[in-house]
Every structure is written in structure tokens, then in C-alpha cells.
Chains A and B, each alone.
Chain A
Amino acid sequence: RKEVEQDPGPFNVPEGATVAFNCTYSNSASQSFFWYRQDCRKEPKLLMSVYSSGNEDGRFTAQLNRASQYISLLIRDSKLSDSATYLCVVTPFPYGGSQGNLIFGKGTKLSVKP
């Protein structure tokens, strides 16, 4: 089983749609979880951290299910500008990337159409 698995997509959705991405991770010791966004031929940028209680940032909602080792990202009211690849990222360290290793999924490609 790969360390971090994501559905590669592409997800093709109309503007205004709600879309959900899932991610599973294999290391039960994982402690920090993130969603990054990567535009075509650009560097990844942090979209949001994922907290145990779940968290929301505007149109974006992230959920964590430790028992099932599963992370999700929900995007409501999709915009054209949401078109990008969304990377699920996991680390065994409690305070994220500073201690070394972020494990990246291959990403899920989203294309929002007018």
C-alpha cells in the first residue's frame, strides 16, 4: 500500500458545483495533515492544515478520520480559479514540516468549467 493515496482524477465540474477529494494514508503514526494546492507548472502552496476536529476556511472544509486513516477536502461553490491539482500531505511529526519529512500524495486534478 502506498504511503499516501489519492484519486488522480481529473475531476471535471461546472462552476458552482461542490466537489470532494479523498486521501488515505498508511502510517498510523502520522500526526500532521495538510492540503496543498499546485497550479500547472508552479510550486505547491499550503491550502490548509487539517485538524482532528475538522476545520473550515471559507468554501473549503477539511476532515480527518484517524480510525480509517482518511482525510477529505470539500470545495463548495467551485470557481474557475479553483482549477489546480490538490496534494494531500502527511507527516509523522506533530508540528509539521520543520522536522523533516512531508509525505506527498500524487495529487488530484480539478478542472472547473464555465
Chain B
Amino acid sequence: DGGITQSPKYLFRKEGQNVTLSCEQNLNHDAMYWYRQDPGQGLRLIYYSQIVNDFQKGDIAEGYSVSREKKESFPLTVTSAQKNPTAFYLCASSPPLIGRPDSRTYNEQFFGPGTRLTVL
């Protein structure tokens, strides 16, 4: 079955440690995204990538890093520089625009199940 997987589902980290969150998709989507969600808050964009070997900072990139070496994979590293890393992290992907016959069929972002990171 096609979809987006994130692992692990729950992650605990000690203060001062870097941690990498996995995101994999087999939907053949070009674009991938990382969001963070805090309780009672909307999703905020951390990084996004439109194509392999290229990515851009979102609104809250400080303290995070990403790589996009393969189309299927977009791992996120939460570094010790991130001051408040405890949150729900969501990865998403979306298909390319090219070849879509219906201009009203706006691109949907498909989300993975998320990783809950807790810093102890």
C-alpha cells in the first residue's frame, strides 16, 4: 500500500542530544514537508523540499536540519540548539503539478502519522 511512514511514533530524548526523525513515502511524490504542532496550536512549517537535493527553510527552521538525498526520504534532525523541541512532528508530501488535467484539483498534502518527541 502507498503511504507515508514516520518512525518512531514516540521518542524521548535527553536535553542536549540531537535526534533524527524518519519520514519515508512510496507515493512517488516530489515535494515533502516537515511541520511541528504544539498543543492548541496550528501546524508550523519547519522545512520543505520540492525536489531531491534541494530544500528550503520554513517559518521555524532554527534548531533543525534536513536532508533530501532520495526522493522517498526526508529525515529531520532536531538539534540541541532547538530550545523547545517537545512537540508533535508531522511529515507530509504532495504530488507534482505537471500533468494534472484538472486545475481545480488542487494539490493535497498527505500527512504521515507523526512522531511525538518529548525532551526529558
A residues near B, CB below 8 A?
4, 8, 32, 34, 41-46, 49, 51, 87, 95-107
Contacts and interface: CB of A to CB of B under 8 A. Distances in A.
Contacts of B99: none
A95 B107 contact: yes
Nearest to A6: B42
B108 A44 contact: no
Contacts, number: 74
A43 B97 contact: no
Contacts of A103: 42
Nearest to A107: B42
Interface residues of B, number: 32
Contacts of A45: 111
Given A96-B106, A96-B108, A101 B45 contact: yes
Contact of A87 (B30, B42, B45): B42
